[in-house]
Amino acid sequence: MPTRIVLTVILLCVAAGGRAVAHHSFAAEFDATKAIRVTGTLVKVEWTNPHTYFYVDAKDDKGDVVRWACESGAPGALSRRGFKRSLLKLGDTLIVDGYRAKNGANLMDARRVTLPDGQVMVGASAGDGGPQ
Amino acid sequence: MRTFVVVSVALALTAALVAQERPMQLDDTKVPKGRPAPRMANGKPDLSGYWKGTTQTRPGGNIGKDLPGWKLPLTPAGEAALKHNLTATVDPEAVCIIGGTPRHNASGLPFEVLQGNNKITFMYWYSYFRLIPFTPGLKHSDDPDPSFFGEEIGRWEGDTLVIDSIGFKEEKVWIDENANPHSDALHVVERWTRPDYNHIHVETLIEDAKFYTKPFTYARTWALGEPDEQIQEYSCSENNVDAAHLGFGPGPIRKDGTRGYDNPAPLPPPVQKK
């Protein structure tokens, strides 16, 4: 079985099993037709309610550095699934997969976060009606 | 061999993650049934517990769940109010306004109940609660102050706790997660029971002659969480970055009656470990 498929299935299982605290509908803020990957340097973390945010500086197509706000579930929900504040270290390179804000801002719903050591964290607020 | 190693590591990681997080919803087919509900010293059922929705409640978040085609009987004024909610308002809960009754009963989030001899409290994520007295002989006020949960009065009918509520707000309220409306004429009658130890159930009558042509009902069952689970601190306005980015309404509603996209684009493929 292709590794990619197995990993995808496993991620889906984790996302479906865990429910973060949905503060609002995914679809009110994010566009599920615009899946994106942002790879960049972690520059700021806000481990807050109603959502956690972390900020990543990444180069755009022109080579300019753009700051992305990455929205995840509430701290309690992330913590219970093993996504701890201590895993996010300023200066680390993160790979963030998710969906862009509908209003075109550099804001994304961070549904999958790959840490420098390869650990994959589920950042989604799964109770928000977003893609599973 | 490489695939086997990666899969093994991934499975171990998954097991660890699942073990650490408990789901916010339960599969009711796996919840034990038949154990009698606990009772208070006065003989009434004790509704206390940390209650989770079940995956059998579909469509979640939709107050029309029990109606054919989930079609709510809106009046012309109700249709106009729905259009207003969809095109001119953001989700009140997303800007830290109380969801109120009956929206909290349609929510995907767990809630906690603590019952006393003369009052019962329902506690919700987002740090909201409602406290309902059920002292015998209570009556509604002639002109209650409008509120999100309304003026709530409880009474026991046998083993059923009846909560009768009037006096609701009309502005900045959605009756469910799909932006359906209610007016200040809303009257809600909830009939709460604990059919067994592991379940709590509500039968709800919703009347609102301004926005709905006839009364309709909403029923739902929740399952008991683990003994050490409870509502946690949740400060909604601590860092509400979302508020500036939210569109009006809940966004698309799927064919199955829930909020969200029917055909989302897949995420980029997972990163392969080196």
Q: In the structure, what pLDDT confidence band is assigned to residue A127 with cuts at 50, 70 and 90?
A: confident
Question: Mean per-residue pLDDT for B149-168?
Answer: 98
Question: Mean per-residue pLDDT for B3-8?
Answer: 44
Distance from CA of A2 to the nearest CA of B (A): 7
- Percent of chain B at pLDDT exceeding 90: 85
pLDDT value of residue B80: 98
| pLDDT tens per residue across span B90-109 | 999 999 999 999 999 999 89
Mean pLDDT of chain B, nearest integer: 91
CB A110 within 8 A of CB A98: yes
- Percent of chain A at pLDDT exceeding 90: 69
Name the amino acid, one letter, at B128. Answer: Y
Q: Residue A25 is nearest to which of B22, B177, B235, comparing CB atoms?
A: B177
Q: Which residues of A touch B239 (CB under 8 A)?
A: 46, 48-51, 53
Residue A90 pLDDT > 90: yes
Helix (H) and strand (E) counts for chain B? Answer: 3, 10
Q: In the structure, what pLDDT confidence band is assigned to residue A124 with cuts at 50, 70 and 90?
A: confident
CB A99 within 8 A of CB A36: yes
A-B interface: how many C-beta pairs under 8 angstroms?
A: 197
Q: In the structure, what pLDDT confidence band is assigned to residue B21 with cuts at 50, 70 and 90?
A: low
Question: Mean per-residue pLDDT for B130-157?
Answer: 96
Among A5-19, A46-60, B121-135, B146-160, the range scoring the smallest mean pLDDT is A5-19
**Chain B: residue nearest A18 by CA?**
B23
Whether B3 sits inside 8 A of A2 (CB atoms) is yes
Residue B209 pLDDT > 70: yes
Q: Measuring CA to CA, how many Å separate B215 from each of B100, B193, B210, B242?
A: 19, 21, 11, 35
Q: In the structure, what pLDDT confidence band is assigned to residue B222 with cuts at 50, 70 and 90?
A: very high
B1 touches chain A (CB under 8 A): no
State how far the Cα of B104 lies from the Cα of B167, in Å rounded to an integer: 17
Q: Residue B91 is nearest to which of A2, A11, A24, comparing CB atoms?
A: A24
Tell me the longest C-alpha to C-alpha distance in chain A. Answer: 40
| pLDDT tens per residue across span B106-128 | 998 999 999 999 999 999 987 78
- Give, in degrees to the nearest 5, the angle at Cα B21 between A36 and B62: 70
Residue whose pair of structure tokens reads 């709800």 in the numeric block: B204
Q: How far is Cα of residue B237 from the mean position of the Cα atoms in its chain?
A: 20
**Chain B: residue nearest A2 by CA?**
B3
Helix (H, G, I), strand (E, B) or coil at B191: strand
